[in-house]
Amino acid sequence: MYIPPNFRVDDTARLSAFMDAYSFATLVTCQDSVPFATHLPVRHICEDGACTTLIAHMARANPQWRHFSPDVEVLTIFTGPHAYISPSWYATETAVPTWNYTAVHVYGFPTVITDHAQLVALLEETMHFYERTMARPWPGTLPHELRDNLIRSIVAFEIQVTRMEGKFKLGQNRSEADLAGVYDALAASAQFGDRELADVMASAGLVSGSIGSNSGDEPARSND
């Protein structure tokens, strides 16, 4: 995706945390020049400080897994907080609206998992990840016949990651005064997503006087 330098995020730990927090992703493939997308939960595996593998599953009836080829990359899109940004929030008088957002794109080569034990382990890891915050986590106990029937109705797969792209468009090209105005408006919004984006701005240091290499000296511009 197009990423101006101000908005690029390369830190693996930050991208990994983002993919954990916003793990309901979009898997995009292409078959006969026609794009195809599936929305699904995706887990990732990191080794030695690098994200190496994505793991997921889909309904066997979904034709997308039949598009997989070991030598053709697929794209997985993780999307986080986003919000409309009104120019009325800026200290700068002349400005236009924009949309701020966070996203991570992961590319890689897919492989269908055929080993039964590996498939079961994948499903259990996924379940435990999402159940871990529940007050009464579901233990995953099912009659073997029912479990096997359910497993036969899905296809599990892994994606060997080739590259990752992080884009956090948070107004890094704006002045500190403009950023403060945006943060205050988002933080006071009735919309949860707006407040969540304000939290991302704060965690990135954009409203604490530390906005990286771009401290407002660069003229404001629209970089979408």
Per DSSP, 122 falls in state H
Per DSSP, 47 falls in state E
pLDDT at residue 219, as a whole number? 36
> CA–CA separation, 222 vs 224, rounded Å?
6
Q: Quick check: 97 and 87 in contact, CB under 8 A?
A: yes
pLDDT at residue 224, as a whole number? 56
Q: Quick check: 174 and 216 in contact, CB under 8 A?
A: yes
CATH placement of domain 5-118+154-203: 2.30.110.10
In the chain, domain spans = 5-118+154-203
Beta-carbon count within 10 A of 160 CB = 13
pLDDT tens across the length of the chain (224 residues): 999 999 999 999 999 999 999 999 999 999 888 999 999 999 999 888 788 999 999 999 999 999 999 899 999 999 999 999 999 999 987 889 999 999 999 999 999 999 988 988 888 889 889 989 888 888 877 777 777 888 889 999 999 999 999 999 999 999 999 999 999 999 999 999 999 999 999 999 998 633 333 333 333 444 55
pLDDT at residue 47, as a whole number? 85
Q: Does the model's pTM come out above 0.75?
A: yes
Tell me the pLDDT tens digit for each residue of 106-133. Answer: 999 999 999 988 988 888 889 889 989 8
Residue 112 corresponds to which tokens in the numbers above?
Answer: 């269908």
pLDDT at residue 50, as a whole number? 84
pLDDT at residue 154, as a whole number? 93
Distance from chain centroid for Cα 170: 15
Tell me the pLDDT tens digit for each residue of 12-42. Answer: 999 999 999 999 999 999 988 899 999 999 9
Distance from chain centroid for Cα 46: 15
